[in-house]
Chain A
Amino acid sequence: MDNETLYTLICNLFFPVLGLLVWGGSWLFGNLHQNKLLLTLDNEEKALVGRANPVTNLSQPSQARQVDSSSLIMESISVGPSWWQMLMGWFKSLFGGKIHSYDKMLTYGRRVVIHRLRVQAIQSGFDEVINLRVETSMISKQSKKDDKTAAYEFTAYGTAIRYSASQD
């Protein structure tokens, strides 16, 4: 008799507690993880502030100098919001209006992809990157109802230019 009530109690509590753990964990660890990513990116971007390596979306080289070589370079990244952010997004979409929860990861993805493009250009010895294009695409549709995966892909590409050393 006593055992039975305990059993039903556990059965009734199992799913609410599990749900609480999963969503709470997603909120806590998601925030910690994403803040760490943003901090790392901030520091990396600050380290490049003084470097003369502009990334622009001009279609012509910005300096009227002889171009030595050029190449197409590209970078891409897939990012996803956390389950908690998706839940908040869904909740907010009932009433409409601004959805803040998706902002964090989408902004991060776009910033990081441009940053990496710049790093790649510097490492390969290019002077500047022109005609930058950034594309966003959703790569994971929620085909099933219980599919909890959502990912956005950002691709940045542009033409990297190396000017010849001699002025003419």
Chain B
Amino acid sequence: MSQGMHLSNTETVPGKLITGSFGLVQGSTVRAKNVFKDFGAGLKNMVGGELKAYTELLQEARNEALQRMMMDAQGRGANAIVNVRFATSAISGGAAELFAYGTAVTVE
């Protein structure tokens, strides 16, 4: 997932010492459901359970948000991001925004 970039959602990178801080970094992406997947999911909703089409769509989108966040951090010369948080919000009309943010730091 990450190429040489340490990610963690704790305050520090466990087992490593933080040597510098570069402030908040973030990445976001907006994805809309497509009509066909939506139709399929609507039918799957008849029995309930996992909606695989949405699961995949959102995982893909979350990875993209994460990638953008890491690009931001790399651009600042950081090699780790700590305290990573995710947020998802539904925008009207069946689109979802996925947002990842964290603090870019350097670890030795």
Partner-B contacts on A (CB < 8 A): 22, 25-26, 29-30, 32-34, 37, 59-61, 66-72, 74, 76-83, 85-86, 104-105, 108, 112, 130-131, 133, 135, 137-141, 143, 147-151, 153, 155, 157-159, 161
The answer to whether B48 touches A78 (Cβ under 8 A) is no
The answer to whether A105 touches B90 (Cβ under 8 A) is no
Tell me the B1-57 residues at the A interface (CB within 8 Å). 1-2, 6-11, 13-16, 33, 38, 41-42, 44-51, 54-55
Q: How many B residues, CB 8 Å from partner?
A: 40
A135 to chain B, nearest CB (A): 6
7 nearest CB pairs, A to B: A67-B15, A82-B48, A78-B54, A72-B7, A137-B88, A30-B47, A33-B47
Known contacts being A66-B15, A149-B42, is A155 close to B49, with CB within 8 Å? no
The answer to whether B86 touches A150 (Cβ under 8 A) is no
Nearest B-chain residue to A67, judged by Cβ: B15
Point out the residues of chain A lying under 8 angstroms from B1, CB to CB: 71-72
Partner of A151, one of B14, B41, B85, B93: B41
Point out the residues of chain A lying under 8 angstroms from B2, CB to CB: 71-72
The answer to whether A59 touches B54 (Cβ under 8 A) is no
In the assembled complex, the Cα of A138 lies from the Cα of B47 at a distance in Å of 18
In the complex, the number of residue pairs spanning A and B with C-beta atoms less than 8 Å apart equals 145
The answer to whether B48 touches A153 (Cβ under 8 A) is no
Point out the residues of chain A lying under 8 angstroms from B54, CB to CB: 78, 139-140, 151, 153
In the assembled complex, the Cα of A86 lies from the Cα of B46 at a distance in Å of 10
Q: Is B73 an interface residue (CB 8 A)?
A: no
Can you name 8 A-B residue pairings with CB atoms under 8 Å?
Answer: A76-B59, A79-B50, A82-B45, A137-B96, A139-B88, A139-B96, A140-B41, A140-B54
The answer to whether A80 touches B49 (Cβ under 8 A) is yes
Nearest B-chain residue to A80, judged by Cβ: B45
The answer to whether B51 touches A159 (Cβ under 8 A) is no
